Chain A
Amino acid sequence: MRMTGTLLALILMGLTTVFANEGEINSIFQHANAAYRAQHYQQADSLYQTILQKGFESATLYYNIGNCKYKLGDIGAAILFYRKALKLNPNDADAAKNLKLARLKVMDKIELPPKFFLLTWWEALTTRWSYQNYLKLALVFWWVMFLMAAVWVMVRRDGIRAWSRRLVILSVVCFLLTSGMGYAAYTAQVRQQQGVVVSSVVTVRSAPEENATEVFILHAGTEFVVADVRNDWLKIRLADGKEGWVPRNETEII
């Protein structure tokens, strides 16, 4: 009893600190919005950034910063923040549209071979929905499963028992599916680090050394998957499979 009491107190304390700062954060946010409306993009950007410095984030905040960066002509950073917004909320249609526009301004055009349709489906399944949503759904099925099992145990009437048994089987299947998808989405969204080139030009090298052979050159806004990390170097993989090493400070991780 005392345990739950302290737990509750802790949660309440956490909530009060969140609420205490939230008023301040919201007022900064509104100031930044006003600056953006007045087309003072630089000022708006730095105001939005102070919210990040205070330790708060939201999909909308990232989206708005992306817009500032786009208006300031920093396409690399614009793409980075749109991607961050989409990572928090994969269903953000505004961010998706602006990301598409920003990508048009990227100098490196990566030609992709046509993909097998099942692979495209799988990618859509694992990236369009955040893994948290899959997790929520899986939890719902988990509860339904036990609830139905309980009915099956408790109730004596044969008709209800048969139905509850069918529902248990169905919810087991649904639970396995959703948790599997959730794990796949988690792997695609969280475990696999992705990044964006933010400096205007970066030389990709064959090894993580300053004077290794130059393999190719990338420009701001090109997105990649992080394949390996060594000291201050990232091994990057482009969508078309090209690989190489770049200094970490020329890029940002989404």
Chain B
Amino acid sequence: MVRWKTILWLIGVALITRVGAQEDIQLKAYVSRSVVGVNDNFTYTVEISGSARSLPDVTLPDLSDFKILSGPSVSSSFQMINFKMSASKTYQFVLLPKKTGQFQIPAATAKVDGKVIRSNTINITVVPGTTPPTGSKKKQGEAVFFRAVASKSAAYLHEPVTIIYKIYYRTRIANPALVDAPEVSGCWQEEFQLKQLPQYTEIINGTQYKVVEIYRMVVFPTRNGEVSISPMRISLDVMEKSRRSSRWDPFFDDFFSAGYGEWKQKVFSSNAVRIRVKPLPTAGKPANFSGLVGQFRLSTSLNKTMAQTNQALTYRVTITGNGNTDFLTDLSLNLPRTFEVYEPKVKGTKGLNGNQFNSTKIFEYVVIPRVPGQFTLPPLKLSYFDPIEGRYKILRSSAYEVMIEKSPDYDEALARNFVPKSDVELLGQDIEFIRETPGRWHRIGENPFSTIAVTGLVVLPVLAFLGLLGVQRYREKMITNVAYARRQRASKQARERLKEARRRLAGGNLAEFYGAIAGALIGFIADKTNRSAAGLTREDLHTILSENQVAESLQKEFFACLQEADFKRFAPAQATREEGERCLHQAEQILKDLMKYFN
């Protein structure tokens, strides 16, 4: 739709210009190919032509979808045809796609007599890889190719891997230029400029190639898994044999075309480099692992072993090896605390020898002894991982014996600052001796405080106190509440009276005996109901017993017993001792039964 509109509009513009302008100026754009591979370059040309003496300036379109390899190269030409002068001017670009897809190159514009004229737009399809140029022969392998060669395809974390970029060629090449630099992710990267490009020959699939190394870099994988380095792309001018001669005769072809042909700018892409990264083993990893991976050597030096206090010593540590030492910024020297250690001066160099990376790091420590005496500077220990042997190793430097003499300016107070105050007091003190008596043993995990005992000790006073309160409460009730007290004591009193009666019987006083029996029976009821025993009539007794639902038979027994007691009390001569015994027994039984009805 848009295209149709544009075309219609263009036709309109063309018509207007044809009618309106005598100059008859045309603007057109074309490309060498409309379907290109992502690694293929193509030319884009804008041509303005007309009969005017001077052609207007052309505003070139936005080409940001592509990489401009060269251009614009401008050329002009004039022609006289039938006394009519025509001029043309071309702007030519060599372009390289950035990515695959459909792209449109917008129109170029020019201003003619205040009016804008436009060229056509161009659609470009970019396909992956390379589209073979029509008619080219690819039988003997490519004349030129570009490769990235890694020193190893699998490496440990932080192990250096050298990658060399090589151009293989059998024809003449010139003007190498970088198009896309390789992108490195998941690696620490170290680049090396080659002062002289190494050149040699290699035979690939039976064909001899000349090789030139153009770029070297060393990468140190920083994460486990797989890291990849994207391809590098370069452009080269390549001598191509003329097509005509090859058609003519294959035999003479080489002969004639040697050194002949045409230069063509081409883009070459190297392969991507993939490195499988192995994690450092956890087995045998030293606790203070420095992080160095490679083969290393360690050497130390001390400028003097005899010195005075406050006189600086220089302690040099040199670490050389084929791994990365960049991240080493400080070492733990573990010098005695009476030595003051300053921040080290650190120098590092890195280089590439063939494809072997090497680095050297020098730490220069200034150490000032503050306290006189004989000291041992302990050996420095440095751990690293050796990827060839696949295990951790520890480097150990030599120890130094140092003799520090008191200098004239030695100040004990100052020296003391270098030993913490509390240490001064305890310095030279030994620990207390063991104790020879074991103290109290107890079983491990056993709580010396048994929970049962603690709970008991907590609960006991509570219970005792509550008990005490209960007793106190009872006592108070007995004092203040007569009815309650009498009721509570009724059974006890009845038993007392019966005991009294038995004593009387034993004494032979039957009159008093029967009186006591009657007293016990009536007294029990009186106590239980809090009434006076003297004031209780038969009827009263009868109602009380009935109210308390005493069994009919028991009531009968009660009154029978009472009657017998009353009767014999006043006629004791008629009573015998045996009868008395029986009556007492009966009264005991009655009271015992009655107690069940009264609480």
Contact = CB atoms under 8 A, between A and B. Distances in A.
A162 B430 CA distance: 59
Contact of A153 (B437, B438, B454, B469): B469
B435 A64 contact: yes
Interface stretch (B121-129, B318-326, B455-463, B555-563): B455-463
A147 B443 contact: no
B444 A52 contact: yes
A93 to B, nearest CB: 8
A131 to B, nearest CB: 9
Nearest to A21: B441
Given A52-B444, A210-B282, A142 B465 contact: no
A104 B426 contact: yes
Interface string A82-95: 00000000000010
Nearest to B432: A94
B277 to A, nearest CB: 13
A55 interface: yes
Given A201-B288, A202-B287, A64 B443 contact: no
A153 B432 contact: no
A57 B444 contact: yes
B73 interface: no
Given A135-B454, A210-B282, A150 B438 contact: no
A70 interface: yes
Contacts of B430: 101
A46 interface: no
Interface in A144-172: 145-147, 149-150, 153-154
Interface in B408-455: 422-423, 426, 429-444, 448-449, 454
Contacts of B469: 153
Interface string A197-220: 001111100000011000001000
A249 interface: no
Contacts of A94: 432, 435
Contacts of B472: 153-154
Nearest to A140: B457
B432 A97 contact: yes
A145 B460 CA distance: 13
A132 B432 contact: no
B464 interface: yes
A57 B442 contact: yes
A7 B117 CA distance: 115
B454 A200 contact: no
Contacts of B422: 104
A122 interface: no
A245 interface: no
A150 B434 contact: no
A101 B431 contact: yes
Contacts of B426: 100-101, 104
B432 A98 contact: yes
The winner among B423, B429, B436 for most chain A CB atoms within 10 A is: B436
Nearest to A26: B438
Contacts of B279: 211
Given A139-B454, A147-B461, A150-B465, A56 B432 contact: no
A119 B461 CA distance: 36
**Which bracket fits the contact residues of A?**
35 or more
A60 B438 contact: yes
Given A97-B432, A146-B462, A60 B437 contact: yes
Most buried by A among B423, B430, B441, B458: B441
Interface in A116-154: 132, 135, 139, 142-143, 145-147, 149-150, 153-154
B429 A56 contact: no
A64 B437 CA distance: 11
Contacts of B434: 33, 36, 63-64, 67
A58 B442 contact: yes
A61 interface: yes
A170 B145 CA distance: 100
B433 to A, nearest CB: 8
A46 to B, nearest CB: 15
A139 B456 CA distance: 11
B204 interface: no
B439 A56 contact: no
A238 interface: no
A205 to B, nearest CB: 13
A60 B282 contact: no
A29 B438 contact: yes
B468 interface: yes
Given A55-B443, A60-B435, A98-B432, A203 B468 contact: no
B95 to A, nearest CB: 47
A34 B347 CA distance: 57
A8 interface: no
A146 B462 CA distance: 7
B423 A56 contact: no
Contacts of B431: 67, 70-71, 97-98, 101-102
22 contacts: A18-B441, A30-B436, A56-B442, A56-B444, A57-B441, A57-B442, A60-B437, A61-B438, A63-B434, A64-B435, A67-B434, A70-B431, A101-B426, A104-B422, A132-B449, A142-B458, A142-B461, A143-B457, A145-B461, A147-B461, A153-B472, A203-B287
Given A56-B442, A59-B439, 20 more contacts: A25-B438, A30-B436, A33-B436, A57-B441, A58-B440, A63-B434, A67-B431, A97-B431, A97-B432, A104-B426, A132-B448, A135-B454, A146-B462, A146-B465, A147-B461, A150-B464, A201-B287, A202-B287, A211-B279, A217-B288
8 interchain residue pairs of minimum CB distance: A201-B287, A146-B461, A60-B439, A98-B431, A64-B434, A94-B432, A58-B439, A60-B435
